[in-house]
Each structure stands twice: as structure tokens, then as C-alpha cells.
Amino acid sequence: MTNKKPGALFAVFLLLLCAGLTWFFAAGEEYYDYASGAIEGSAQAAPLDKDAIVNLSKAPKEKFDTEIKFRNFFLTAPGAKKVELLADFNGWGKTPIELKPYARGYFEISLALSAGEYKYVFLVDGKEVPDPTNTDRVEENGRTVCIKTVK
């Protein structure tokens, strides 16, 4: 029985291990230098500090008015039997909105509208009539329509 000394084989193993680790850390350092340079170079486009990143991720503070508001449409038309509201929000009469009659030819309705600009006219016994109390008007398709602005 011969005793072989494991010293030479162990020494080769240690040399290969040292060479591998040296290469690994050198390559890692080169990659780190490359990556940190790329990150620092992009700092102008994307800030590196936490506060700047948090501020960028916050939604802009824009004010949107989604509140529903009730607006009255009324007309005094003595002797009228039926008054309807024709507007852009009801397809110009495709979905009729009839105003409620009160004493002495007064007709009124209250509608829930969101913020915006609405065009309308009244239909009094089959004849289109612009709102006499509203001077905000525009000519559209050969007829005068009134504009109601809801804020």
C-alpha cells in the first residue's frame, strides 16, 4: 500500500479556485463600474433621490367637477297646452322632457346636470321657442338655440 500525498492535487485546486474568484470579482467590479456610470448618467432623466421619485409618482392635482347640480328650466307661455325641452343632452327631443304646468301659463322643470355647456330650446305646442330669459344664444343649423352653462 502506497500513501499518496494529496498536497499537489490540493494545491492545483486552490490555484484554480483563486483564479476563478479573482476573475469573478474583477468582472463584477467592471460591471458595477459600468452600471453605476449608467445610473449616474441617467440621473438627469430619472432622479435618484427618494423624494423626487415620490413626487413624480404623485398624480397631478387637477380639479374635476363631477358634482351633479340641479338647474331649473322655466318658461311663461300663457295659453300653451304643452311645453317640452329640446336639448343636446336628450337628443333634441328623442327622449322628451315635458315641463310641468303651473298657474297662469308658467311651466318649469328641474334637471340634474353635471358641469358643462348645454344647448337647448323650448317646444311650445309644436313650435320651437328660444328661452326669452337667456341671452346666451347661438345660431345652429338655421335655428337659434340657447346655451346654459353649469359650473
| Residue 148 parent element (H or E) | strand 143-150
Q: What is the pLDDT of residue 141?
A: 86
Q: What is the mean pLDDT of the chain?
A: 83
pLDDT bucket at 39, cuts 50 / 70 / 90: low
pLDDT bucket at 44, cuts 50 / 70 / 90: low
Q: What is the pLDDT of residue 117?
A: 93
Q: Which residues contact 74 (CB under 8 A, 6 or more apart)?
A: 99, 106, 107, 108, 109, 133
The pTM of the full predicted model, rounded to 2 decimals, is 0.56
Percent of the chain whose predicted confidence (pLDDT) is above 90? 47
